Structure 1
């Protein structure tokens, strides 16, 4: 878990050469392995779960050639007879009520959308193209080609073809697709289990009295919400005081019960930051200074609650900063993708696209910055973005006000008004 500039398990490992964000991401990605355990769940319970195996279609969808619209079905060979074409209506076909007998060369069948094509028919003339008089219909054959307005059996999905691939996160449309195949239950990966807690003597939980010098803990609530959006099994261990024994006990319990341990606070180099010291007794953890704003202090590694080499389970560890905005930025930029990979999901990363900066932005090269921004789109469809009024890492209201991150890359310098910057929308992320 160590890096060239870091020493595992020691808060003294702060380096004068902060680690670039992309390097940190690569180190984390290399350490992540997907959860192997699987379970079978009923179809309605599969929403947002990760498929463990390919779903192979047991049937053709649709099961029969059928009409793509309301009209009259007939043998397309009749189109060569010239205009106008007159056909005799031999009957009617509706969804669930097919016309079973064969249709003659100069006959047609009144057909509704989705109804199976009658025997001998391969083409549908839309009802608005015909003139009907009694049992006859007349239309111009030049308006059609043989096979028009027919949906073939298996056109949507053929028998034996993979309908959905392993690693897919099941979405509402997927539930409908699986239902159309008659699939009642599916194999999915077990959810990733994450235990999390906050550290700090000054923190109080909601509902407790707030003494002088204390603040309510917001980080556990944002972490709970961010984990819930990822469909994670989350275990909230509350607030842990800045006491070595308490922190060690919390880390041990978390690592025993979860695949991942998340903490907020206690990962800088302050004298009271005991998390750094306590992880040394349980695992291999690197404490990084990241070239990132906000979110400079960060820890990553692995915890072995039964001791390294003891053959017991282990858990990945992410130590996030204490400031509320830094917690959210660190989670979305470094933790989120790791949890998605652990879930076994094959999913794209967060969406990013370009927008014009509405104001000049000061930025020094050598670190990646994630500003809270408000993006808007004009009548011409062009995007622009302006940073929120406050960018302090403790100003959580700026996250509520914003609708995107403005991503200023490691090598980027000052940004002029009107210059293009990358933005990462919160929609679909937060």
Structure 2
């Protein structure tokens, strides 16, 4: 099978060309409120109601007419003529007369004729007793700098834009949509991603590895990354270096075998994508199989993460990443996270420009992806492993512990100098949203 040389940008385009936004569905606000994050709007959303729906008290106190309060702030004594609590229905036929005050709690409808609320702590009453009835017959108070009235429709009006297609469904959006008279939102599903790692040397985390065996950390890594990107994940774990076992695992996650876990939107594997005798992914990709289409094996001008492959298994997009842990991490950030964003109907994350805080060498010829940490100044420095003697490389996952971003050093740069502006991809952007 031919291996295609490719730039980083070309491979990103090749991956994104295989995915499309998932269909929009209307989901009730109560369900969205309890779901994990990761949903995005499939269409713009506008309010259908006034917020607040009536003039309401913004403080506990007394509703009054400003015309009854001297403009110079002198105190006056008014008769207490009523008591309004939250939940009291507005009574358009009832109007506050002159020289009277109505005891009112926050959120209660303001009586007609009243145009201000004086907070109770700024009156002769001082404070209200929770649950206590109206006992004061009069109150002494004065004009305040603020009216403390939330006017009808001052926050949201019918037709106001609450969110655009692609916006994340946040707790604030759910709350404002409910206040704005909506019962559901048009959203895209969280993408469902299957994660498999390959290698006969892998054992489950916590099992005794034994000679020549290592824990399967990659499937845990990619599962956590996919969840952080806003996906639901089907984690298969380790699959041995056996082509039939890998084919069976792929069939299982796309729902074609009895007991399969159901169709997924994306399959991500790690390992077995190079040209070694044990590279099982390449063995499956090289074989003639009706379940396999759109095979694309690439040598990306990228360090780490040069060997990459794409295909479809029973029509489901399959992204095959290298097996070295840091290579898998980098590849996920560059290729899989943007694909999850597109499936969810969002714009993929974009790099930002940041200066380098220090100099470091960079191998020319390929885009060098460097885990970095962002300093308080905004500049970035290379992330380091906890141990001073640890070396960095495609296997050194401990280097990632201090990283909050990836610096993308261009292929023609042999040395990054302090102060050089670099493209930097933040790792903590929620759900792959753009910046």
Matches within 5 A, 1:16-415: 19-36=6-23, 38=25, 40=27, 42-43=30-31, 44-48=33-37, 49-52=39-42, 56-76=46-66, 84=74, 86=76, 88-91=78-81, 92-97=83-88, 101-104=94-97, 106-124=99-117, 135=138, 137=140, 139=142, 143=145, 148-180=147-179, 188-206=187-205, 208-255=207-254, 256=256, 257-280=263-286, 281=289, 282-303=292-313, 305=314, 314-344=315-345, 346=346, 349=349, 352=352, 354=354, 356-357=356-357, 359-377=358-376, 383-389=379-385, 390-410=391-411, 412-415=413-416
2 CA distance for matches of 1:411 and 1:118?
72
Q: Offset at 1:33?
A: 1.0
TM-score normalised by L of structure 1: 0.78
Contact 2:118 2:141 in 1 (8 A): no
SS of residue paired to 1:176: helix
Q: Offset at 1:73?
A: 3.7
* Count of matched residue pairs: 399
Q: Offset at 1:326?
A: 0.8
- Give 5+ residue unaligned stretches, structure 2: 127-136, 257-262, 386-390
2 CA distance for matches of 1:244 and 1:132?
82
TM-score normalised by L of structure 2: 0.77
Q: Deviations over 1:37-77 (max 9, x none)?
A: 63645434444233455555453221211233445444456
Q: Offset at 1:383?
A: 4.9
Contact 1:192 1:233 in 2 (8 A): yes
2 CA distance for matches of 1:291 and 1:70?
65
SS of residue paired to 1:285: strand
2 CA distance for matches of 1:204 and 1:136?
76
Contact 1:20 1:410 in 2 (8 A): no
2 CA distance for matches of 1:232 and 1:209?
31
Q: Deviations over 1:159-200 (max 9, x none)?
A: 454544454432233343345457665554333222232222
Q: Deviations over 1:382-403 (max 9, x none)?
A: 5553431443110112122433
Instruction: Provide the aligned C-alpha RMSD in A.
Output: 3.6
Q: Deviations over 1:309-364 (max 9, x none)?
A: xxxxx1111010010111111011111111121123x356267463541x311124
Contact 1:66 1:113 in 2 (8 A): yes
Once structures 1 and 2 are overlaid, which stretch shifts more, 124-133 or 366-375?
124-133
2 CA distance for matches of 1:75 and 1:105?
7
1:416 maps to 417
- Give 5+ residue unaligned stretches, structure 1: 1-9, 306-313
Cα gap change, 1:321 to 1:99, in 2 (>3 Å): closer
